[in-house]
A and B are shown apart, each in its own frame.
Chain A
Amino acid sequence: MRNRAILTAALLTVLVTACGSSEQPEVVEQIVVRDRGEAAPAVEADAGATDLIAMGEDAFQMCTGCHVVESGARSTAGPNLFGVVGRTIGGLEGYSYSDALAGSELTWDEANLDQFLTDPAGYLPGTDMLAGAVRDDEERAAIIAYLANQSSSTGE
């Protein structure tokens, strides 16, 4: 009967894809670090919080959604910022930049990074960095100090 044939075609598609594999493997390895009742171990106080670079590293946490700062690491949403100070704007090989950055021949330095981070789209109209403005002057300076410290000369 015609209707039944279509039923199997239509519905089984939904069912088969919904069910996936019928045999689920067991838990292979379960590492219990801590029970829920136990208090979390105290996180070490950051002794260097007064240091500008350390402050910058803390502040940079808000950028880690898009950027890694690690020598040789694959870029995430934004380019890998290891060694960004001193690098040609739009110059990280293998990263697909917006037209706004790709054509530039300038080099990133503390001064233009400061302008860029103050207002990314204002400094480089067309940039894909839709978020990322750092309005707090001190925070911005700290982030730039941190990035400047992360270069091939200092290592990690």
Chain B
Amino acid sequence: MNDMSPEEKKTSKLGKWSRRGFIGAGVLAGGGLLIGIGVRPGNPIGALGPKVAAGAGEQLVNSWVKIDTDNIVTAIVPHCEMGQGAHSVLAQMLADELDAAWDNVRVMQAPADGSYVVSDTARMFAAPFTLNAADWLEPTWDGLFTKLGQSMDLLITGGSSSIRTTGQHQMRIAGAAARQMLVGAAADAWGVPAAEIATRDSMLVHEASGNSAPYSEFASAAAEQSMDHTPTLKTRDQYRLMGRSKARTDIPAKINGTAEFGIDAVPDGLELSYAAVVRPPVPGTSVISMDASRAEGMSGVLQILNMGNFVAVVADSYWQAQQAINTVGIEWSQSESPVKTMDDQFAVFSSALDAAGDTGGDQAAARGDAPGALANAATSIDAEYRAPYLAHAPMEPLNCTAHVADGKCDIWTSTQVPLMARSEVASTVGIGADDITIHHPYLGGAFGRRLGSEYVAMAARVAQATGYPIKMIWSREEDTQKALYRCADMSRMRAGLDESGALIAYDSVFTQRHDPAEACVPAMYDIANTSVRVAEAELHLPFQAWRSVDHSQQGFFIESFIDEAAAAAGADPLEYRLSMLTNAPRHTAVLEKVAEISNWREPSAEGTAKGVAIVESFGTIVAEVIEVDMTSGKPKMTNCWAVCDAGYVMNPDGFRNQIEGGIVFGLTAAMYGELELEDGAIVQSNFHDYRMLRMNEVPNIEVALINSGDVPVGGAGEPGLPPAAPALANAIFAASGTRLRELPIAKQFV
């Protein structure tokens, strides 16, 4: 999306700094203005100018916004667009504070540059319990995290964080700061008080004097304005764009074939060759020998490479490369992993849980005296839950185009972490990060998979070996079988109920804890005695965060087991949950609302039953009710109702789309998601055996939103997922009396 020509890049030079600080401003040669948010003294914001300014006609208003001579406002967004709509909503937030005319707002992907480190995302990961804007604007704190983020290459998109961190703490401030500077410049020029100048639709207006001008007229003069480091942000009643379902800016290109994804990269002036790859079937093994005799004679083949830990065939077209590599005989080294099948993997988990016993392992959370209360409970229940390994399976298979020449490297790829990818390429091909340029267009889905960059380094290695540019594409089979995975896990759970059926003790122990740290804790419920423990066990397959991360399995474990407690108490599962939410008014409101829209308290239609689950994740509370029809003996999902409280929703329709997607993703995994092992290698290979829900299988989905108000804004991309599996399993229990303690579900009803 950066449309600057190489010539313009050469001629665009920066003048001296006029200001540094939390909000820093710089002047471009030719009078342009450059302001940066979160920029520390010494941070080379100046170097960014040429990368984001299209040329002489444009003014950079700050590192998150520029205004051109046609009064077009461009929001420079440091997050990737992978379907979550962040580009659009972040622009909405900036444009609202700037009082920009929405029709004239454009979005540009920030270049992969250390200056665009998403420092607020670093802070969210670092301090999830202190999401507080006032603290975060404190300069030292900000500097710490910018530096920390840079040292960790943290230009990432994940954790449902774009809106609640970058949007709330940077895009809005950028917009408000730019607006104040433009007003100040106009006030000086017109000789009127700044307070009398109104802004609307990218125009400055002073009614009393009759003066008015577009923003572009004062973009340069705004550089001379002194700046309040904490500009006043709008209150909710002043929003004009935030909270509105503005149409997404990326959709027009996604319906006519013009949207560019990583796999579509056709770099100007480069003749591409194509690479297919084969990676080890069992993680950690390497190539012992390779027989490429058949491939050598196949049409289009240019090179066959044994790269040690993978094999590549380079050809004139991807199809020829893939056809050829299918004929290459490869002998792989033996794996040292004791795990050959999923039974072996669950045995590893089981041993770890056995060793932890009733009280051992690392204590993740504790309240009261769980062991004592369990021993004295009137009724106690226990259960063992299992979750399988899962692949991310984004629709766009992993791919990367790379060119290594003259000590420089150019990369075109779909990634959630362009700077980490750059570091990985740097260490792999021995070229300094400054000589590596990462071009990262739209992502054809990611769901956490593209937080890993091993495929980027692979393409760079092949390009370095060939000396000419190559586009590497993984087959779907490689993508399914040789990637990074949502972990499998096992959880043993115990609960104690008093005579009235109330839950007075809860204990769980499981083997996998990654992110978020609180995912394994049923914190919202009033349970006097709680113990949550981790008994770590080794995974056979490499881990990668998968949409909603630990919530994806913990949501199923916890909310299914709470349902078991309700059943043991003879209580309605929704009313039982409500009875334990006396200190959680937002959760209560969400559950009450989902009861209302799903007609929970009315009898279900003949042959159907409903299940409920509620999970708070990434700052958003989501309750889901799923209705299943079991009349055929197999579960058919008919309806799903979801209610979400994210505090405040910036784009309701976009938010709903994300929740709908999260539900389908969760239900897909619940029904079909499973990777099995044979001799340590994954059995499933493509969509015929790693199945996805299809049009004829998804239920109707209705999503309602609650803006409960004065709390930090919650995420959208992940929170819809965690309640889906338990709500479905609980519905099947309600319909059939069968309690499902492992996933996937479909194969249990063959």
B108-125: contact bitstring with A at CB < 8 Å (1 yes, 0 no)? Answer: 000000000000001001
Q: Which residues of A contact B423 (CB under 8 A)?
A: 19
Across the interface, A25 reaches (CB within 8 A) one of B152, B307, B516, namely B307
User: B653 CB to closest chain A CB, in angstroms?
Assistant: 30
**Is A17's beta carbon under 8 Å from chain B?**
yes
Q: Please, which residue of chain A has its CB at the minimum distance from the CB of B145?
A: A7
Q: Please, which residue of chain A has its CB at the minimum distance from the CB of B156?
A: A14
The stretch that binds B, out of A31-39, A51-59, A108-116, A139-147, is A31-39
User: B515 CB to closest chain A CB, in angstroms?
Assistant: 5
Contact assessment for B517 and A3 in the assembled complex, using a CB-CB cutoff below 8 Å: no
How far is it, in angstroms, between the C-alpha of A43 and the C-alpha of B543 when the chains are bound? 45
Q: Which residues of B contact A29 (CB under 8 A)?
A: 290, 305-306
CB-CB under 8 A for A40 and B126, given A18-B452, A25-B309, A31-B305:
no
Q: Which residues of B contact A10 (CB under 8 A)?
A: 125-126, 515-517
**Is B302's beta carbon under 8 Å from chain A?**
yes
Q: Which residues of A contact B302 (CB under 8 A)?
A: 32-36
Please classify the interface of chain B as helix (H, G, I), strand (E, B), loop, or mixed, using the class held by over half of its residues. Answer: loop
Q: Which residues of B contact A63 (CB under 8 A)?
A: none
CB-CB under 8 A for A18 and B457, given A4-B126, A7-B126, A13-B545:
no
B152-183: contact bitstring with A at CB < 8 Å (1 yes, 0 no)? Answer: 10101010000000000000000000000000
**Is B368's beta carbon under 8 Å from chain A?**
no
How far is it, in angstroms, between the C-alpha of A27 and the C-alpha of B454 when the chains are bound? 16
**Is B44's beta carbon under 8 Å from chain A?**
no
How far is it, in angstroms, between the C-alpha of A29 and the C-alpha of B271 when the chains are bound? 24
Across the interface, B686 reaches (CB within 8 A) one of A20, A35, A77, namely A77
Q: Please, which residue of chain A has its CB at the minimum distance from the CB of B542?
A: A17
Name, among A10, A66, A78, the residue most crowded by chain B CB atoms within 10 Å (CB to CB).
Answer: A10
Assign chain A's interface to a size class. Answer: 35 or more
Q: Which residues of A contact B417 (CB under 8 A)?
A: 14, 18
Contact assessment for B468 and A36 in the assembled complex, using a CB-CB cutoff below 8 Å: yes
**Is B451's beta carbon under 8 Å from chain A?**
yes
Q: Which residues of B contact A18 (CB under 8 A)?
A: 417, 420, 424, 451-453
Contact assessment for A24 and B128 in the assembled complex, using a CB-CB cutoff below 8 Å: no
**Is A128's beta carbon under 8 Å from chain B?**
yes
Q: Which residues of B contact A35 (CB under 8 A)?
A: 302
Q: Which residues of A contact B685 (CB under 8 A)?
A: 76-77
**Is A22's beta carbon under 8 Å from chain B?**
yes
Contact assessment for B420 and A25 in the assembled complex, using a CB-CB cutoff below 8 Å: no
User: B347 CB to closest chain A CB, in angstroms?
Assistant: 24
CB-CB under 8 A for A13 and B299, given A7-B126, A18-B451:
no
Q: How many A-B residue pairs have CB under 8 A?
A: 122
How far is it, in angstroms, between the C-alpha of A66 and the C-alpha of B689 when the chains are bound? 12
Contact assessment for A30 and B303 in the assembled complex, using a CB-CB cutoff below 8 Å: yes
How far is it, in angstroms, between the C-alpha of A118 and the C-alpha of B179 when the chains are bound? 65
How far is it, in angstroms, between the C-alpha of A20 and the C-alpha of B455 when the chains are bound? 11
CB-CB under 8 A for A40 and B300, given A7-B125, A11-B125, A28-B306:
yes
How far is it, in angstroms, between the C-alpha of A57 and the C-alpha of B299 when the chains are bound? 18
Contact assessment for A6 and B273 in the assembled complex, using a CB-CB cutoff below 8 Å: no
Q: Which residues of A contact B126 (CB under 8 A)?
A: 3-4, 6-7, 10-11
Across the interface, B457 reaches (CB within 8 A) one of A24, A28, A77, namely A24
CB-CB under 8 A for A43 and B299, given A7-B126, A14-B545, A20-B454:
yes
B268-304: contact bitstring with A at CB < 8 Å (1 yes, 0 no)? Answer: 0001010000000000001100101000100111111
Q: Which residues of B contact A30 (CB under 8 A)?
A: 303-306, 465
How far is it, in angstroms, between the C-alpha of A27 and the C-alpha of B154 when the chains are bound? 30
How far is it, in angstroms, between the C-alpha of A31 and the C-alpha of B300 when the chains are bound? 14
Q: Please, which residue of chain A has its CB at the minimum distance from the CB of B423?
A: A19
User: A46 CB to closest chain B CB, in angstroms?
Assistant: 13
B546-569: contact bitstring with A at CB < 8 Å (1 yes, 0 no)? Answer: 000000000000000000000000
10 contacts between A and B (CB under 8 A): A3-B127, A7-B126, A11-B152, A27-B306, A30-B306, A33-B296, A34-B302, A40-B300, A41-B299, A78-B688
B residues contacting A by CB (< 8 A) are 122, 125-128, 130, 148, 152, 154, 156, 158, 271, 273, 286-287, 290, 292, 296, 299-309, 316, 417, 420, 423-424, 427-428, 451-454, 457, 461, 465, 468, 484, 514-517, 542-545, 685-686, 688-689
**Given known contacts A14-B417, A24-B308, what 10 new A-B pairs fall within 8 Å (CB)?**
A10-B517, A18-B417, A18-B452, A24-B428, A28-B306, A29-B290, A30-B306, A31-B292, A36-B273, A36-B468
